[in-house]
Amino acid sequence: MRLYTTSALPLVLGGALGLGAGAAAAADLEFYFPVGVNAPAVATIDELTSEWAAQNPEHTIKPVYAGNYEETTTKALTAAAAGNPPQVAVLLAIDIFTLVEEDVIVAISDIATTPEDEAWMDSFFPGFMKDARFEGKTYAIPFQRSTPVFYYNKDAFRAAGLDPEDPPETWDEMIEMGKKLTVKDANGNVTQWGTRIPNLGLAGAWMFGGLVVSKGDVLSADSGTEVSIDSPASIASLEFLLELAEEEVMAPGGISWGDTPKAFLEGQAASIWTSTGNLAFINENADFDWGVGFLPGGDGPGAPAGGGNLYVFKDATDEERAAAIDFMKFMTSPENAARWSIATGYVAPRPDAWELPIMQEYVAELPQARVALEQLPYAEREFATFQRAKVTQFLVEAIESVVTGDADPAAAVEAAQEKADDVLGDYR
């Protein structure tokens, strides 16, 4: 029974080892991480951090599981306010503006300045770096990144007389094929819907961002102070969601994120739009032939990037910062990015990881995993602004009021735009 942790112990231990190692300055890192996908992800994090610690005996690292994304951000901000932040944390990519505004993180490009460091920061997919940068500086390193893809039931495609190797690529095709995929019983009740796009809550806003990208627009700008919620692309995307319900391709009303993979596995939806984070789960549980394709697009392919990045906190000493950079390099090395990707379904954020034998083997076994990589060039940043929680809520309300039939698209987005401009005006 231990009521008090002896937090001094690792410090003393680390100090002693540091002395033994000689020149290298010792640092004790705390690393906050959330769990967004399956529970075994925690074990992989523990494995990776202890490997780093074994390779760098002068340093210590303590991985701290901090709940889901939101809770991890709350915990990190609370600790930072008390002057006790972690040195490194995995937080949502879209939280960059909040973290900059709270002045708790340090620009990585300010502390990692050697040519070697720069090469490291350039080694990631540009699609994942867009939301890691702000005002010309790099504030984050991609780590657990995901993007939604189109999962479809090939058996259902065959039953509907569709080519199982040719999933819909455009919205029109989605509606046309979806009509054939919707199955009703003798009483006229739908037993299988053509598709399922989550449209409620934050996940709904994330998916919606992808629709807008495919119509050639992005919901928020790199500055974090401009949004274009009331664009024609936005209205067209909402109309597409309504049309899916009208044509009986998709269930009318609100559609939740959490139940979507289940609906797919149980045959209630012939196709779903959801994160690559579900690959492993669906692969394990599907008892039918399934495939993955690009998200069908309005004017072309388009998807939102999502997930979490690694941040370095400001309150760290120079030694801690150097150790933090070294730790992040280790976590995002091609080998470890590949391991993390295979264990979780996150998209390995750098091209060279995909060339490794273990990754090649994984893709050969699960070719569906490759689709996210191919779709990546068409991915844009997720909706992110200053005062993100508040501003995103305006967008969420607009989408929800339209899909539940309480408002028409043009009016809803106009109201959301106005409210967002009100809040963001102070930041321009």
Binding site for another protein (CB under 8 A): 1-5, 7, 30, 35-40, 42, 62, 64-69, 71, 74-75, 78-79, 81-84, 146, 257-262, 266, 274-275, 277-278, 280-282, 285, 287, 307, 345
Q: How far is C-alpha 129 from the chain's CA centre?
A: 13
Cα-flanking dihedrals φ and ψ of residue 195, to 5°? -150, 175
Rounded to a whole number of angstroms, the minimum distance from the CB of residue 55 to another protein is 23
Rounded to a whole number of angstroms, the minimum distance from the CB of residue 79 to another protein is 7
Residue in the block written with tokens 């994330």:
206
Closest CA to 96 of 213, 204, 209, 222: 222
Closest CA to 382 of 278, 294, 308: 308
d(CA 46, CA 92): 20
List C-alpha distances in Å: 253 to 175, 246, 250, 274, 375. Answer: 17, 11, 9, 18, 28
Toward another protein, which CB reaches closer, 17 or 64?
64
Angle 138-142-146 (CA atoms, 0-180°, nearest 5)? 140
Rounded to a whole number of angstroms, the minimum distance from the CB of residue 254 to another protein is 17
Toward another protein, which CB reaches closer, 83 or 136?
83
Q: Is 379 helix (H, G, I), strand (E, B) or coil?
A: strand
Toward another protein, which CB reaches closer, 282 or 295?
282
Toward another protein, which CB reaches closer, 80 or 420?
80
Q: Estimate the crossing angle of helix 334-344 against helix 357-365, to 10 degrees.
A: 20
Rounded to a whole number of angstroms, the minimum distance from the CB of residue 63 to another protein is 9
DSSP state, 382? Answer: P
Toward another protein, which CB reaches closer, 150 or 171?
150
DSSP string across 289-350: -EEEEPPPBSSS--EE-EEEEEEEBTT--HHHHHHHHHHHHHHTSHHHHHHHHHHH-PBPSS
Alpha helices of 60-163 — where are they, by DSSP H?
69-81, 96-101, 108-111, 115-121, 126-129, 154-159
Q: Side chain identity at 166, as an amino acid letter?
A: D
- For 428, residues 6+ apart whose C-beta sits below 8 A from its C-beta are 225, 226
Rounded to a whole number of angstroms, the minimum distance from the CB of residue 307 to another protein is 8
Toward another protein, which CB reaches closer, 2 or 428?
2
Closest CA to 96 of 398, 403, 384: 384
Toward another protein, which CB reaches closer, 258 or 377?
258
Rounded to a whole number of angstroms, the minimum distance from the CB of residue 285 to another protein is 6
Rounded to a whole number of angstroms, the minimum distance from the CB of residue 310 to another protein is 17
Rounded to a whole number of angstroms, the minimum distance from the CB of residue 81 to another protein is 5
Rounded to a whole number of angstroms, the minimum distance from the CB of residue 51 to another protein is 19
Toward another protein, which CB reaches closer, 209 or 261?
261
List C-alpha distances in Å: 275 to 15, 47, 72, 91, 303. Answer: 43, 25, 21, 18, 11
Toward another protein, which CB reaches closer, 36 or 224?
36
